[in-house]
Structure 1
C-alpha cells in the first residue's frame, strides 16, 4: 500500500513534504513544534494541516495493518486466492476491507449456518448450477427427521437461506447498494407522537442522503433516541433486487430465475439493506459529528484567542437567586483580594444592603470593571449592577462573560489546589473575574467540553471530541506563548512537549528557587529532558530575562543565527530589549532577504519568523484583537423594536447561523441566510466567537423570548 502516494494525491502535497512530515512525526516531534520550527522541511504546512495529515496517516497505517491481518486470516483458512489478495490490496477504505473479509469471518449461528450443518449446501448449489431445476423433486433426498428436516419445504428454505447469505456477503453487491444509497437515497423521519416538541420540523421530513445538512442529522438522531421520531433510509428496492438477481443468473441456471429472484429479495430485505442502512446512518452520523466537532473547535479557538483586558482590577459577579450572588475581587494579576456574598435578587431582594457592601469593595480596591456571569439570574443581576454603577461617581463598567464551566472548575482538584481555603461557590466568581483578564489562562483549567460553545456536543463521539479540542487548546496556547513565571501548571501542560507531571515540576521549581531568569534554567527542572526542552523552549516566555530572546518565539537553536543577524544589521541586544528595531525591514531590504538568508545559512521561512519575533519582544498576538463590549446600562426584550440596529458579541457559531449577545436575557439568532447578502456556506467562515458585530432586529417573539437578527444591509464594525 503506497501510503506516501495516497497522502501526496489526497492532500495536494509534494513528495518531499510528505516524506519529511512523516519522518518528523515518527521522530516524536509535536505538531506545534513541527509547524513553527520546521517550516522549510514541511513546506510551511500549518498546524491544522499537520493535524489532518497525522490523522490520515494513522488511518492509512491502521488500514494497512488490517489488510495484512485479513490476508493472513483468509490464508489460514486455505481460501486465499490471487483475486482475493489483489482485492484486499486495492481496497481504499476499511469498510471495503471488511466487506471482502465478511464471507470468511467466523459467524454466529445464523439460519444459513444451521442449514449448512444440516447438510443442505449441495441443494443450494443445485439452484445456482443446474438448469430448469425441479426444486421439489431435488429436495426430497434431503428430508431427514433426525436433522429436523421433516419435509421438502424445510430443505428448500434452508437452501435458500444459504444462498441469501452468500448474496449478502458479496462485496461487489454491497458496494453497488451502498453507492446507490449514498447517491440517490432519501432520509425520512416521521413523528411517533402527536405532541408538540423541538423536533416538530422533522415530523414529516425527507431529504436526500447526499444533501442533508450535518446539524439535521444530529437533530434527527437525538429525536430518534428520545423515541419521538422514527427514521429510515429509502432507495429503489426493486432496482436493487434486480441487480442482485442478474448477478446470480447465468447460462448454468437457466430456468431458475423465479427462485433466484425470490432469494435475492430475501437477501436484500432481510440481510443486505438493513446492514447498508445502518452503515449509511453511521456514515451520516460520522460526517455530522466531525462537522459538529470542527465547529466546536473553531468556536473554542475564537474564545481562547479573545483579547485579554490587562491592568484592570475586576470584580467577578456570579449571579444566583436563593443562594445569593457570589462576589470576588481580583487584582491586576488575577490574585484574589476579597470576596463576599450578596442577595440583590429574589427571594431576598436585599438590594440596598448589596449596593452598600459592593460599593465599599469597589472603592476599597479601586475596581475598574465588573464581570458578570451569563447564567441563572444574570439579567436581574445586570439590572442591579447597572443601577448601582450609575450611583458611583467615577468611571466603572460591566461586561457579561460566558460562565460555562465555572462550576466545573470550582469543584475541580485544580481549584482546590489554587484556593484551598476558599468556599467552592466563591471559586466560580474568581474564575468569572479572571476570564476577562486572560480568557486563555483561565479557560484551559476547564474540560473543553464544558465551555459550551459547541453544537450537539453531547451527541458526538466523546473520545474524538476530546482529541480535537485538546489539539485546539494546544495549538492556541503555543501560538501565543506562555510566561513560565506566571503560568499555572494547567496552562503549562499544554505547551508542546510538557506533560502534566513536568508542568507541576516547573511550578514546584519556581516556588522553591524563585522566578526563571533564562530559558536554560528549564533544563534543571526534574524530568524535563533534552527532548522535552527542544519541543517546549520556543513556546516559553520569560518577561525580564537577561537575554531578550527568551521573551520571544525565537527558538534557542536559532539564537546564534539571531546574534549574527543583529550584528549584520548593526543592532545591539540593548536595541532589541528596548524595542528599537523600528527600521529593521529597511535594513534587511538594503542587504536583500534571500542574500541575508544565504549568509546566515538559514531558511527563508525561519528568517522571516525570527525577524517578526524580534520586532516586538514579548508581544501577545491577542492584544490586537477585539475587546469585549463594556456596558453601563441594561436593555430588555421589551426595549427592542424591529429595524433597531445594535452592537453585539458573537457567543456561539453553529451551522445554521450565529447567536449574538445584544444585551438582553437571551441571545438573538442571526440565521445563516441573514449573515450576508452573498451566499454563505458555513457561518464560521465569516464569524468567530468573541467578534463584535452590528445587527438589525428583524423579529421579536415576546412569548418565547426570542429575537431574530440580520447582518444584511448593516454597516459592520
Structure 2
C-alpha cells in the first residue's frame, strides 16, 4: 500500500496557479494574497495599496481572491479523495499521481468514482458471487472461449446468470473509466447540440406561448456560449413543464472510441469481444452519456448564470452610481388609482416635510379629480417644489399626464424606477424612521429621495428587488448575493459617505465596517455629537485599528477641522500630503482654485514622490484628491432625464427621434423608457454599426440616449427602437 502523503499548497504555490490562470504577474498576485490574508478589504487594497499590487483594480483583485479560493478547494478535495482511497487499501502511486495532477474537480471525481462508496449495485453482487476473475479473463483474452460453465453454481445456476453478472461487472468498469468520461466531456462540448421541443401537454403549461421560440429549437454548444441567455430560457421552459430538453451527440462515435480503447485496437469476433461490445453499449447509454450530459448542462447553466449575474451586477452598479440631483426640493409622487396617489415633499437635504393623498384618476369622481389638481398646485407653490419624481408603477403614465398638465412654469418632472420601494416602505428601517406613516406614504418619500441621492436610498433595500437584470429569480442565490455585496461595496466606497449624515445601512457597506460597527458609529454620533475629525473614529466602541485603517479613507467630514478629512486621501498619508502642499506653497483655503491645481499638476513626478515618501501612484491619487476636495465619484455619471411634456404610444411613428432613459440592459439588447407605458427595446444589432459582443459595451442603466422608432405593435404593446440613425441602418 502506498504511504499517505497529502499536499498542502503554500501561498506562493497557489499564487503561481492564480498567476497562470489569470495572466497576472506573480509578484502582484502574491502581494494581493498577502494583503487579503492579513484582513485587508478589496476596496482598501485597490485604492490604497497600488504600489504593492501594481495598480490592480477591484475586479482583478476579486478574481485573484476567487481563483485562489478555487485552487485551495481543489487541493483540499484531492487530499480528501486520496485519503479515502488510502483508507480502502487501494491507493497506488499511479492513482495518487493521476489525482494530484488533475486540473479540475470533474477529473478528480472521475478518478474517485470507482472507489466511491455507493449503494449496492448488480455489479457488486456479481463480484460477491465470484465473477470478477471471469471479467478479468475476458478483458485479457478477447479471442478466447469464455469458461462460463466453470462459474455456474448454486448462486448462479445457469449460464445466462453468469453472463448477466459478467455483463454488469464489465459495464460498471467501463462506465467508471475516467478516460472515457473525460473524452466524451470534451467531444460533447465541442460537437454537441442542445435541442428543445414542445413537451406533450406542454402548451397547457405555456398558455402565453412564452417559450414558442423553443418549441422546435436546436443550437450547437459552441454557439450557445455566445448566447448564454438562451440556456436560462430553455431551463425555465423545462422547469415550467412546457419543454423537453436534451443534448444530441453522435453516440456511435463514442461507442467506437471505447471499443477501440478497451480492446486495445484488436479487431476480433471472439466471444469475449462480443460480450465486451454489449457491455460498452450498455455502459454508454446507462452510465456515461447521462452523467456527462448532466454535467455539461450543469456547466452550461453555471456559465449562463455567471453571465447573468455579471449583467445584473453591471446594471446595479450604474443604477447606484447615477448622479444625484443635489440642492433641489422634490415632490415624491407614488401613483395609484383606487387608493389615490401619495405625495411627499422633501427638502434639498432629503428631509421629509409634508405628506398628502390626492385622487387624480378614475374611479375618483370629477370633483375629487379637480380637488387633486388644486392640492397639487398649492403644494408645489407653497414648498417651492423644483422637481416632481413620479414612480413608474401602476398609474404612472396617467400620473405623468396629470403632472405635466398641472406643472408650474420652471418646474420639471422625471419618471423614477420605483422597483423595491414597497420593500423598503415595509422594512424595519422605514418603520423606525417614519413610525407614524403608512407604507404607501413612506414609498412616496423613497421615490423622491431616489432622485436626490440614488445610492443612499437604494442601499436601504434588497438590491435584487430593483428590477435590473434577466432571469435573476433562476440564478444561484448565494452567488447573486455575493455579487450584490461586491457591487454595493464598490459603489459605496468609490463615492464615499458623509460620516455625519450616513445611515447605518450605508455605513455597513464601508470597507472594514459591519452592521455592529456601523450602528456604533451612529450611536456615538447621536450621543457625543457630529464628528469633527476622522481620528475621532478611534473612540467608537469596538472599532479597532484594523477597522479604522480599512474604513477611514472612505468616510468624509464636510466641514471638519482638517480639509484632508473631506478627501479620499488616507490618514496614513496626511503627513505626505502636508509636505506636498508645502512644496507647492498652497494653503488649505486656496485648494481647488485653478492656480493651486496647476501647481499640483506640475508636481506629479517621481522626484516629488521620493521627497514626500510615497509611491508614484499614491502621489497621483493625492494630487487628484487635492484638486477636488469633497469630490463625488458620481459627478461624471448620468443624472435623471427631466421632462415637462408627455408622450403616448399612439403618438409614436416609425423614424421618429426620441430621448429616453436606459432602464435595463440584457444580453440581447437594452430597454429604454420613452415616457410611454411600456419600455422600448433596442436589439443588440441596433446598438452600434460595428459588431459587439455585449450591449454593455455601448449602454448602461441610467444612460440618457437618443433613439429612433423602428416599429410599434400597439396590440402587444411592443416598441422596436434603434440607436442608429435610419439612414445608417443596413
> Which bin holds the TM-score, normalised by the shorter protein?
over 0.9
Q: Which residue of 2 aligns with 1:474?
A: 489
Question: Is residue 260 from structure 1 mapped to residue 237 from structure 2 by the alignment?
Answer: no
The alpha-carbon distance between structure 1 residues 115 and 342, as it changes in their structure 2 partners (threshold 3 A), is farther
Question: SS where residue 622 of structure 1 aligns?
Answer: helix
Out of 533-542 and 333-342, give the one that drifted further.
333-342
Distance 2:334 2:381 in 1: 20
Distance 1:106 1:431 in 2: 56
Choose from 321, 324, 336 the match for 2:337. Answer: 321
Q: Which residue of 2 aligns with 1:160?
A: 167
Choose from 241, 244, 263 the match for 1:230. Answer: 244
Q: Which residue of 2 aligns with 1:426?
A: 441
Question: Is residue 655 from structure 1 mapped to residue 677 from structure 2 by the alignment?
Answer: no
Q: Please, what TM-score do these two structures have when normalized by structure 1?
A: 0.96
Deviation at 1:714, TM superposition (A): 6.8
Runs of 4+ in 1 over 6 A off after TM superposition: none
Contact 1:647 1:662 in 2 (8 A): yes
Q: Which residue of 2 aligns with 1:630?
A: 642
Contact 1:163 1:263 in 2 (8 A): yes
Contact 2:260 2:266 in 1 (8 A): no
Correspondences of 1:175-186 after superposition (within 5 Å): 175-186=182-193
Contact 1:127 1:253 in 2 (8 A): no
Distance 2:288 2:619 in 1: 59
Deviation at 1:144, TM superposition (A): 4.3
Q: Which residue of 2 aligns with 1:617?
A: 629
Q: Which residue of 2 aligns with 1:285?
A: 301
Q: Which residue of 1 aligns with 2:361?
A: 345
Distance 1:342 1:92 in 2: 65
Q: Which residue of 1 aligns with 2:687?
A: 675
Q: Which residue of 2 aligns with 1:105?
A: 116
Deviation at 1:524, TM superposition (A): 1.1
Deviation at 1:426, TM superposition (A): 1.1
CA displacement, residues 2-29 of structure 1 (integer Å, 9 cap, x when unaligned): 3222222222222211110110010010
Deviation at 1:132, TM superposition (A): 3.0
Contact 1:242 1:261 in 2 (8 A): no
CA displacement, residues 61-89 of structure 1 (integer Å, 9 cap, x when unaligned): 11111111111111111211121111111
Q: Which residue of 2 aligns with 1:573?
A: 588
Distance 2:601 2:351 in 1: 43
Correspondences of 1:123-134 after superposition (within 5 Å): 123-134=134-145
The alpha-carbon distance between structure 1 residues 167 and 434, as it changes in their structure 2 partners (threshold 3 A), is same
Question: SS where residue 630 of structure 1 aligns?
Answer: coil
Deviation at 1:113, TM superposition (A): 2.1
Distance 1:714 1:32 in 2: 44
Question: Is residue 497 from structure 1 mapped to residue 508 from structure 2 by the alignment?
Answer: no
Question: SS where residue 347 of structure 1 aligns?
Answer: coil
Distance 1:514 1:196 in 2: 59
Question: Which 5+ residue runs of structure 2 have no aligned equivalent?
Answer: 1-8
Distance 1:197 1:15 in 2: 52
Correspondences of 1:133-152 after superposition (within 5 Å): 133-135=144-146, 138-145=147-154, 147=155, 149-152=156-159
Contact 2:710 2:722 in 1 (8 A): yes
Contact 2:46 2:55 in 1 (8 A): yes
CA displacement, residues 649-683 of structure 1 (integer Å, 9 cap, x when unaligned): 10000000000011110000000001111111100
Q: Which residue of 2 aligns with 1:245?
A: 259
Correspondences of 1:246-395 after superposition (within 5 Å): 246-250=260-264, 255=270, 256-348=272-364, 350-389=368-407, 392=408, 394-395=409-410
Contact 1:215 1:288 in 2 (8 A): yes
Q: Which residue of 1 aligns with 2:540?
A: 525
The alpha-carbon distance between structure 1 residues 587 and 510, as it changes in their structure 2 partners (threshold 3 A), is closer
Question: Is residue 707 from structure 1 mapped to residue 714 from structure 2 by the alignment?
Answer: no
Question: Which 5+ residue runs of structure 1 have no aligned equivalent?
Answer: none
Deviation at 1:129, TM superposition (A): 2.3
Contact 1:120 1:159 in 2 (8 A): yes
Contact 1:91 1:97 in 2 (8 A): yes
CA displacement, residues 166-225 of structure 1 (integer Å, 9 cap, x when unaligned): 111111111000000100000000011356611111111111112111100000000000
Question: SS where residue 223 of structure 2 aligns?
Answer: coil
Deviation at 1:127, TM superposition (A): 2.1
Question: SS where residue 635 of structure 2 aligns?
Answer: coil
Q: Which residue of 1 aligns with 2:209?
A: 197
Choose from 496, 512, 520 the match for 2:527. Answer: 512
The alpha-carbon distance between structure 1 residues 49 and 714, as it changes in their structure 2 partners (threshold 3 A), is farther
The alpha-carbon distance between structure 1 residues 251 and 10, as it changes in their structure 2 partners (threshold 3 A), is closer
Q: Which residue of 2 aligns with 1:84?
A: 95
Deviation at 1:329, TM superposition (A): 1.2
Question: SS where residue 532 of structure 1 aligns?
Answer: helix
Out of 201-210 and 553-562, give the one that drifted further.
201-210
Distance 1:158 1:634 in 2: 78
Deviation at 1:690, TM superposition (A): 0.5
Contact 2:638 2:704 in 1 (8 A): yes
Distance 1:298 1:610 in 2: 28
Distance 1:584 1:629 in 2: 32
Deviation at 1:133, TM superposition (A): 4.2
CA displacement, residues 612-654 of structure 1 (integer Å, 9 cap, x when unaligned): 0011100112123222111111111100000000011100000
Contact 1:645 1:696 in 2 (8 A): yes
Question: SS where residue 623 of structure 1 aligns?
Answer: helix
Q: Which residue of 2 aligns with 1:218?
A: 232
The alpha-carbon distance between structure 1 residues 60 and 628, as it changes in their structure 2 partners (threshold 3 A), is same
Distance 2:595 2:509 in 1: 33
Question: SS where residue 434 of structure 1 aligns?
Answer: helix
Distance 1:211 1:545 in 2: 58
Q: Please, what TM-score do these two structures have when normalized by structure 2?
A: 0.94
Choose from 554, 567, 570 the match for 1:539. Answer: 554
Contact 1:129 1:252 in 2 (8 A): no
Deviation at 1:245, TM superposition (A): 1.3
Deviation at 1:574, TM superposition (A): 2.6
Question: SS where residue 210 of structure 1 aligns?
Answer: helix
How many residues are aligned here?
706
Aligned alpha-carbon RMSD (Å): 1.7
Out of 625-634 and 402-411, give the one that drifted further.
625-634
Deviation at 1:499, TM superposition (A): 0.3
Deviation at 1:150, TM superposition (A): 4.3
The alpha-carbon distance between structure 1 residues 592 and 441, as it changes in their structure 2 partners (threshold 3 A), is closer
Contact 1:382 1:634 in 2 (8 A): yes
Contact 1:431 1:442 in 2 (8 A): yes
CA displacement, residues 536-562 of structure 1 (integer Å, 9 cap, x when unaligned): 000000000100000000000000000
Distance 2:282 2:217 in 1: 28
Distance 1:175 1:54 in 2: 28
